[in-house]
Structure 1
Amino acid sequence: MVVKSFPAVPADPGVTRQVLSESPELMVVSFTFEEGAQGKRHNHPHVQSTYVESGRFRFEIDGETFEIGPGDSFVIPSLAMHGCACLKPGRLIDTFTPRRDDFL
């Protein structure tokens, strides 16, 4: 097995993204947010699972809004419109299936 290392890169203002691991079928990505930063509303064909490692976030998925904090997790279905606002600085761990080639 070859272990790859990926750099942290800017994603949105106040947000950095770092691929932690990847294969064609699955990808794990860390997103670090400053307070007030936004994850812009978007959608994609990938199924996404999000785990809150730290911080506090307000998410919107297909018109439903909710707040989450450390230890919370949820799944975003394929093509669902979603975005978030960071209420307290923190880190999200997202898993995508299949891999997000646009992040490589």
Structure 2
Amino acid sequence: MIKKFPEVPADPGVTRQVLSDSPELMVVAFRFQTEGAEGKLHNHPHVQSTYVESGRFSFTVAEETFEVARGDSFVIPSNAVHGCKCLQPGTLIDTFTPRRDDFLTSNS
């Protein structure tokens, strides 16, 4: 069965939409509408894979900073401090294992 999730505000200029989930895995779209919008530095126990569907971003992961663009992907280890700045509006597709239950219950 396909379940539709709402698009919700994440950070200023950024929305988040859960695309699919199970207890072991979750896929989420983060849409950055404006250049300069940020995904603030944070960490979580989940392993995260990020795929750049469109746009260009500067990421910081565990004190390393790098740029990514359409078609790039990378993995963020559990508990690594990370965040990004939008250099060109676009969409990131993030996969989390296990599922981010906080994304199902709030605008976190």
| Superposition TM-score, scaled by structure 2 size | 0.94
Stretches of structure 2 that go unaligned for 5 or more consecutive residues are none
Q: State the partner residue of 1:99.
A: 99
Amino acid of the structure 2 residue aligned with 1:60: T
Q: Residues 8-47 of structure 1 correspond to what in structure 2 (within 5 A)? A: 8-33=7-32, 34-47=34-47
Count of aligned residue pairs for this structure pair: 103
**Structure 1, residues 12-57: CA drift from partner, whole Å, max 9, x if none?**
0000000000000000000000211000000000000000000000
Q: State the partner residue of 2:3.
A: 4
Q: State the partner residue of 1:88.
A: 88
Stretches of structure 1 that go unaligned for 5 or more consecutive residues are none
Runs of 4+ in 1 over 4 A off after TM superposition: none
Structure ranking higher in strand proportion: 1
Shift of 1:3: 1.3
What percent identity do the matched residue pairs reach?
78
Q: Is 2:48 the counterpart of 1:48?
A: yes
SS at match of 2:55: strand
| Superposition TM-score, scaled by structure 1 size | 0.98
Shift of 1:61: 0.4
C-alpha separation in 1, matches of 2:48 and 2:85: 17
C-alpha separation in 1, matches of 2:61 and 2:69: 16
Amino acid of the structure 2 residue aligned with 1:71: G
